[in-house]
Amino acid sequence: MGLAKYALRRVVFMVVTMWVIITATFFLMHLLPGSPYVNLQKLTPEQLEILNTRYGLNRPILEQYLLYFANLLTGDLGTSFQFKNQPVTTLLAGRVGASVQLGVQALLVGTSAGIVVGVIAAVKRHTPVDSGATIVAVLGRSVPSFILAALLQLVVAVNLRLLPIAGWRDFSSTILPTLALAMAPLADSARFVRTEMVEVLESDYAELARANGLSTQQIAWRHGVRNSVIPLITLLGPMTVNLLTGSLVVENIFAVPGIGEQFVKSVLNNDYPTIMAVTILYSGLFLLVTFAVDVLYSIIDPRIRLSGGGRR
């Protein structure tokens, strides 16, 4: 299967997947308890009817779905219920920057540190250093980011008073949420790189390098890192999406004015257009990054597209 045909097949898969996500989210969203109107107690039946007519909520659910989908195809994501007369696109546009900055920082810190930890663990395998790295990887993956966020706030911000406890003012405000989010990619990268690096260090060309006088450390850093990091590409898709969109809970804990914080507020207030827009954004980013990783990996390893499947 050629690269163009493989890419086209993946695009079709993306479109179908996105349609399923939008459809499922739309109908499930309307099952949420409560009303989208914050001041419901103060509204008269006549005012409630006017609002339902304005937002189309008095129509049958199937008609609402078809109308929403038609507007979506024109780029219209609707108007937020929570913020009067504010288009959802404008609302989210002002919050993307914080989530992107936080996600990029966490991705760079997590993967870079994970690569270093993984290489050191492989070089020092079956030693206390290797055991310590394994413990870090297990904790980084098993401890939820919001637990780590709360601990960082308590120790670093409250007890030591080294960094702001919350808010989004300057670079110092980004350090704690970045560390909280970076632990998961650090753990995944360290575990993955260690496994790959052990295979590299036990390979024939590594033995040949040792015979030529190179130490294990020299082989690892000069030759092994590149071969160990290339397969890490398969993990970058999910990690990138999760971090670029930001953690829903972590953004709320640190009062980061990002997409995650807004999504939580929209769910609590039944802000249907915002819920749909954030879901579409999350899903679209995930599918696009996954598509990019699939194509990139199929270029690196043509056997993937020849088999007609995705990453194995």
> For residue 120, what is the domain's CATH number?
1.10.3720.10
Residues 106 and 186 in one domain: yes
Provide the pLDDT for residue 143: 86
* 196: pLDDT strictly greater than 50: yes
Co-location of 65 and 189 in the same domain: no
Determine, yes or no, domain membership for 39: yes
pLDDT tens profile 91-113: 888 888 888 888 889 989 999 99
Residue 69 shares a structural domain with residue 44: yes
Same domain, 5 and 134: no
The predicted structure's pLDDT at residue 308: 53
Question: Does a structural domain hold residue 105?
Answer: yes
Residues 149, 49 within the same domain: no
Pair 99, 72 in one domain: no
Quick check: is 122 in a domain? yes
Give yes or no: residues 240 and 283 share one domain. Answer: no
Residue 134, pLDDT > 90, answer no
pLDDT at 295 over 80: no
pLDDT in tens, 270-286: 888 999 998 998 888 88
Give residue 311's pLDDT.
46
Within 8 A by CB and 6+ apart from 127, the residues are none
What is the extent of the structural domain holding 18? 1-82+269-312
| Positive or negative: CA dihedral 115, 119, 124, 125 | positive
Q: Which pTM does this prediction carry?
A: 0.76
Tell whether 87 is covered by a domain.
Answer: no
Least confident of 130-144, 235-249, 267-281: 235-249
Q: Is the pLDDT of residue 307 over 60?
A: no
Same-domain status, 76 and 184: no
Residue 312 clears pLDDT 50, i.e. is over it: no
Scan for tokens 């690096």, then name that residue.
Answer: 197
User: Do 227 and 99 fall within a single domain?
Assistant: yes
Decide if 249 contacts 146 (C-beta within 8 A).
yes
pLDDT in tens, 40-79: 567 777 878 887 888 888 889 999 999 999 999 998 898 8
β-sheet bridge partners, residue 79: 87
Distance (Å, whole) CA 143 – CA 153: 15
Residue 195 within a domain:
yes
Q: What is the mean pLDDT of the chain?
A: 83
Give the pLDDT of residue 23: 95
Based on the structure, what is the number of domains in the chain? 2
Tens digit of pLDDT for each residue in 167-195? 898 999 999 999 999 998 998 888 888 88
Give domain status of residue 88, yes or no.
no
Q: What is the pLDDT of residue 201?
A: 83
Same domain as 312, residue 231 = no
More confidently predicted of 114 and 301: 114
147 and 46 co-located in one domain: no
Residue 90 located in a structural domain:
no
Residue 259 has pLDDT above 90, yes or no: no
> Does pLDDT of 137 surpass 60?
yes
Instruction: Indicate whether 180 and 299 sit together in one domain.
Output: no
The predicted pLDDT at position 240 comes to 76
Q: Is residue 245 part of a domain?
A: yes
Single-letter amino acid code for the residue at 183: M
Tens digit of pLDDT for each residue in 12-42? 999 999 999 999 999 998 888 777 776 556 7
